[in-house]
Structures are given as structure tokens and as C-alpha cells.
Amino acid sequence: MDSSELGEGDMSNLPKRPATNVPSVPGFAQIGPVPFSPTPNHQPDLLSELQQCGCPVCNHLVEAAFEFFRKWLYRLSSDERSQRAFADQLGFCPLHTWQLAALASPLGLSHGYPKLLGRLSAALSSLSGEPSETAGAVAALIRSPQSCQVCGLLRSAEREYIARLSQYLTEPAGRDAYACCQGVCLRHLASLLAASPPADLARFLLSDAARQFDQLAEDMRNYALKRDAVRRDLLTGDEEDAHLRALVHLAGHKALCVPQSHERSV
């Protein structure tokens, strides 16, 4: 089976870069670590990543998810042992099920999902004799952010990245680089502050975030004024995409948005 049969979805919003290994999720069958192929003990290039558009933490997590899906899709499409493991752990949460599907072809999904569907069919058939107990048992068949393997991967990647970025920002060069970038979203600003940074770093992060929101508001006002006045030719690049940058800073990357439950999850 060639690669064209495995995935044909829209990958344009998922940058291709290496990620951390897949963590274990206690209490559930495991797919097993996906063999990422870049240099051993890959460390993010924080200086380079701070120069990208959007929240650098969100960008790193989107890349980690893409790298997992890219390698997992081949295994799910072609390896029977992986298909059994996927069925045993009852797949992924709804968000990551659809993200996987967006990168897969109908043929790849049709190879990879029948064992999971058979597992669910057997589980539901076994419940028919106890109708009073079915609601909770059926709910347990749905992967939540706490039991989804991809969510576990992203929680681990987020913790590691926040710790590395926090350490980097204690250095003058790191703080200078951050002052020239677009900063992190509100969610990851809270994560950085929760890492108990020195007081001067906390003040720096807060003042920089305030400055970013002021600048975004100004860019959006300028965009609206120039569009209303039919002066599109005077729009700057920052004004053109200010609405998108504002949404990222408010809510994080759209690929990471998932309803929050009792435990914070990615």
C-alpha cells in the first residue's frame, strides 16, 4: 500500500516537525511508542519557534499531534497488531478521532477501524442483558481527554515545553527573543505563570501580554477603518491578519480547542 492510500486530508494547518514520544495512559491498553525519526533527544529550537506567528506553545503542540498522526496512520492502515491495540484502547477522544480522519483516506480508515467497531459491537451486545446498567457502561466506551492517548501525548509535550520555555526566559537572550515575538496565548500565559517564575519575569510576561493585546486592538481598528473607507491598498500585513492573531491569543490554536472537563487537558 503506498502513502497516497493512507492519507489525503488537509495537512496545511499542521506544520511538520518532530515531537516527543507518546506517553502511557494508566489503565488503558497502549498503542506503543511511535518511532519518531529525528535526532535523538530532540530539543525545540526556541529562538526559531518564537519567531513564528501565533503562540509558540500551541504551535509546538500542533506539530506534535501532526507527527503522531502521520506515523500512526501508516500503522493503523497496515499493521494488524496496531489495529488490535487501537481497538483494545477504544480509539481516541472525539476531537482526535476527527483530526485523525482529516489526515486519512477512506481506504486507510476502512483498513484501520473494523477491529475497533467489532470490539464496540461485542461490548454493546454484552450489555443487553443488564438494561438498567447500560448508561454508565456505554459512556465508559467513549474516550475522554483523560483517557485519550493523543491528549496524553499533548499534556506531556505541553508540560515539557512550558518548563523549557520558562527556563529559557530566565536568560537575557531568551527574554529579548520573547519581547520581539507575538507572545503566548492566554492559556499558556497562565501555564507559564503557574510555573512560579521569578517576580521580575512574571511582571515581564504580564506587561508584554498587555502590550500585545493593545497592539492587536490597534491593528484591528486600523483594518476596520481602512476597509470601511475602501482603502484596502493601505492595509499592512499586521492589520490584515490581526483578527486571526487576536483569536489565537484569546483562545489558543483552533486545532487544540476542546471542551474542558474537571481536569485541565490539551
pLDDT at 124: 85
pLDDT at 125: 86
What the block records as the C-alpha cell of 46 is: 526556541
pTM above 0.85, yes or no: no
Rounded Cα gap, residues 207 and 101, in angstroms: 41
Rounded Cα gap, residues 251 and 253, in angstroms: 7
pLDDT at 26: 34
Are 85 and 31 in contact, with CB atoms under 8 Å apart?
yes
What the block records as the C-alpha cell of 180 is: 520581539
pLDDT at 260: 42
User: Would you tell me the crossing angle of helices 199-228 and 186-194 to the nearest 10 degrees?
Assistant: 170
What the block records as the C-alpha cell of 73 is: 496512520
The per-residue pLDDT for range 169-178, each reduced to its tens digit, is 999 999 999 9
pLDDT at 44: 61
Are 148 and 93 in contact, with CB atoms under 8 Å apart?
yes
pLDDT at 263: 43
Q: Where are the domains of the chain?
A: 45-256
Which residues in the chain land under pLDDT 50? Answer: 1-42, 259-266
| Nearest in space to 99 (alpha carbons), one of 62, 52, 145, 142 | 62
What the block records as the C-alpha cell of 37 is: 525519526
